[in-house]
Amino acid sequence: MSEHRTGDDGARDGRAPDELPEYAERVLDVADLIPPGRVMTYGDIAEWLGEGGPRQVGRVMALYGGAAPWWRVVRSDGALLPGHELRALGHYREEGTPLREASRSAEGHIPRLDMKRARWDGVTGGHGGAEGVDGETHT
C-alpha cells in the first residue's frame, strides 16, 4: 500500500483517516504515476485499472485525492475542475501542461486543457517506464 492520504479533512466514510478502500488506493496510485505536464481522464484511469468507471474515479478523487496530484485527473472535454480552476491553472502553468486559450465568450476566460497534447497513455514518459502500479506492463 502506498503512503496515501485522504483529503484535507480525512476519510468521510467512517474509516480511520489512514485506511483507504482498495479501489481508492489503486486510483490514487495511478494519479501519482501521471507525469508533470500530462493528464489522464477519469475514464482513462478506470479503463487502465480495468475496473469502475469515470464516476467511481471522480468519487475517489473527491473523497481521497486531496494530497494526490488531483489536477492531473481531468474531464475528457479538457474543462478545468469547477471551483478549482485557478488552483489547477497554477499547477498546469508551473508544469507546462498544454493549454488551449479560452475564447472571448468563455466564462472567466479560463483556458481548457489541450487534450490531444496533454493526455497521457499510462505508459510513455511516466515514472519507471511501462510497468504500471500493479506490476503489469500496460500498452
Q: Which amino acid is at 76?
A: S
Residue 122: its pLDDT value, please?
A: 87
What mean pLDDT is reported for the chain?
82
CB count in 10 Å sphere of residue 96:
11
Residue 29: its pLDDT value, please?
A: 97
29, 31, 37, 39 alpha-carbon torsion, rounded to 10°: 140
Residue 108: its pLDDT value, please?
A: 66
- Give pLDDT tens digits for 33-86: 999 999 999 999 999 999 999 999 999 999 999 999 999 999 999 999 999 999
- For residue 102, pLDDT over 80 is answered with no
Residue 106: its pLDDT value, please?
A: 60
pTM of the predicted model, to two decimals? 0.76
